[in-house]
């Protein structure tokens, strides 16, 4: 009996090549194919193509394999030449769709969101994915305003190989803003270097050692003082009339039009009115809080909750003149347990893992007439929507945005309301 026939023995299939027909797109930047009864998640391909794949992970005893499409035998409509030399098989894991035209990228992302809602929440819905409002990067390049580069053993900066810790050194990144601090042309005695450029033209560059501390280094003519490498340790961001202070390594949307796009969607779905009581959860530096405070006015209230201490500190600075806003730093679930007052509206923008059942139930316990959920992961959103259904809230509306061109990431804004 061979290892292939013995279910108790696994023989590695890594490196094996075979021709396959490619099926539907799946969440995660790959498409689904089948080989000898196994599911194969294949990168660098499109639905409907015939490709030669090379297995990158898995063996005969595994339920599924991972693979790269190393040769396109029959191409599908929507394929284009990649704009990055290291985005292909065995290359950088930062971009999933360099080989896909932008319109096709958005169609595929819509199919992913629809599939996740159907599979995890039992909701059948066609989803149209839009680009950012007023997008000035119609080719999908040069948009990323924040990047954390990793350093290899020789101090060269780059990004990691897909599903690997190995660093691929870069001389340039085609999706990175050209206004970012120039750090790729030098060697760095650090484990990673974070760079940012803001909507106001502020720049930030910081190098971190293995333990996450800022080392004392001097590179590319940037002066290090043990806390920073270049420029201030924070930047200014502006959305409409509001200016926000954001710690250089703190969270802010990386596409220059993303913040405004999401603010517009949240405000439309929230329909917040003067005098209403609002909770803004996972509020970061106060982006949505500032606009919700505008909408509810001085007669309303906004409870702004953020778990990250530095994010809350920035929020307090950004919102210090809003008497109707209370900024609370703490675990969202714990804060909601302690502050279980009724709310007219809840806005939440949880991390990639989602809000999860405890927070969803706590939100429903506040009795809001509207819940606006901003999600960066469609699977987490679908799971939480299913939990909301269990506590009496239904999905009323959904908008989806491709705010990270060339990648599999998609941002969704969902409106939920009590059933009936």
Binding site as annotated, residues: 253, 282, 306, 349
376 catalytic per annotation: yes
Cβ neighbour number for residue 15 with a 10 Å cutoff: 8
Which is it for strands 129-130 and 50-57: parallel, antiparallel or unpaired?
unpaired
> Which class for 415: exposed (0-12), middle (13-18), buried (19 or more C-beta within 10 A)?
buried
Those residues with Cβ within 8 angstroms of residue 18's Cβ, 6 or more apart along the chain or in another chain:
35, 52, 53
Nearest to 113 by CA among 31, 45, 41, 26: 26
Dihedral (CA of 121, 125, 128, 133) sign: negative
Which is it for strands 167-169 and 157-160: parallel, antiparallel or unpaired?
antiparallel
Which of 261-264's residues contact partners 24+ apart within 8 Å by CB, and which partners? 261/132, 261/133, 261/401, 261/403, 262/287, 262/288, 262/374, 262/401, 262/403, 262/411, 262/413, 263/239, 263/287, 263/288, 263/291, 264/133
Q: Residue 307 CA to chain centroid, in angstroms?
A: 18
Q: Structure tokens of 128?
A: 């149209």
Q: Which residues are known binding-site members for S-adenosyl-L-methionine?
A: 253, 282, 306, 349
Q: Structure tokens of 417?
A: 């309301």
Per annotation, catalytic residue among 31, 92, 376, 412: 376
CA distance 419 to 129: 26
Those residues with Cβ within 8 angstroms of residue 396's Cβ, 6 or more apart along the chain or in another chain:
415, 416, 417
Nearest to 315 by CA among 282, 279, 286: 286
Dihedral (CA of 366, 345, 118, 50) sign: negative
Residues forming the active site:
376
């Amino acid at each position: 009996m061979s290892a292939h026939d013995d279910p108790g023995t696994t023989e590695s299939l890594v490196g094996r090549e075979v021709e396959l027909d490619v099926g539907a797109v799946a969440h995660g930047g790959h498409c689904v194919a089948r080989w000898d009864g196994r599911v194969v998640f294949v990168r660098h391909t499109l639905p409907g193509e015939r490709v030669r794949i090379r297995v990158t992970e898995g063996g005969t005893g595994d339920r599924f394999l991972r693979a790269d499409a190393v040769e396109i035998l029959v191409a599908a409509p929507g394929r284009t030449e990649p704009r990055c030399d290291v985005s292909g098989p065995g290359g950088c894991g930062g971009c999933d769709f360099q080989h896909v035209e932008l319109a096709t990228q958005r169609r595929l992302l819509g199919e992913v969101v629809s599939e996740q809602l159907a599979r995890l929440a039992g909701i059948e819905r066609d989803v149209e994915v839009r680009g950012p409002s007023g997008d000035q990067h119609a080719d999908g390049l040069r948009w990323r305003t924040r990047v954390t580069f990793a350093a290899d053993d020789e101090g060269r900066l780059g990004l990691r190989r897909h599903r690997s810790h190995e660093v691929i050194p870069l001389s340039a990144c085609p999706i990175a803003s050209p206004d970012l601090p120039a750090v790729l042309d030098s060697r760095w005695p650090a484990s990673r270097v974070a760079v940012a450029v803001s909507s106001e033209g502020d720049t930030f560059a910081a190098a971190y050692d293995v333990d996450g501390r800022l080392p004392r280094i001097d590179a590319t003519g940037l002066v290090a003082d043990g806390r920073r490498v270049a420029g201030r340790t924070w930047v200014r961001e502006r959305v409409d009339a509001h200016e926000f202070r954001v710690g250089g390594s703190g969270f802010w949307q990386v596409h220059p039009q993303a913040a405004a796009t999401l603010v517009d969607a949240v405000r439309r779905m929230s329909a917040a009115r003067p005098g209403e009581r609002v909770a803004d959860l996972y509020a970061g530096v106060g982006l949505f809080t500032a606009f919700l405070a505008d909408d509810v006015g001085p007669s309303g209230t906004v409870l702004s909750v953020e778990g990250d201490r530095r994010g809350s500190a920035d929020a307090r600075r950004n919102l210090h003149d809003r008497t109707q806003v209370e900024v609370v730093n703490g675990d969202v679930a714990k804060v909601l347990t302690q502050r279980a007052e009724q709310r007219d509206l809840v806005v939440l923008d949880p991390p990639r893992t989602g809000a999860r059942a405890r927070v969803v139930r706590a939100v429903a316990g506040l009795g809001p007439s509207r819940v606006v959920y901003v999600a960066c992961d469609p699977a987490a959103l679908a799971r939480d929507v299913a939990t909301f259904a269990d506590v009496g809230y239904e999905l009323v509306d959904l908008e989806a945005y491709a705010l990270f061109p060339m990648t599999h990431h998609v941002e969704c804004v969902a409106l939920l309301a009590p059933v009936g």
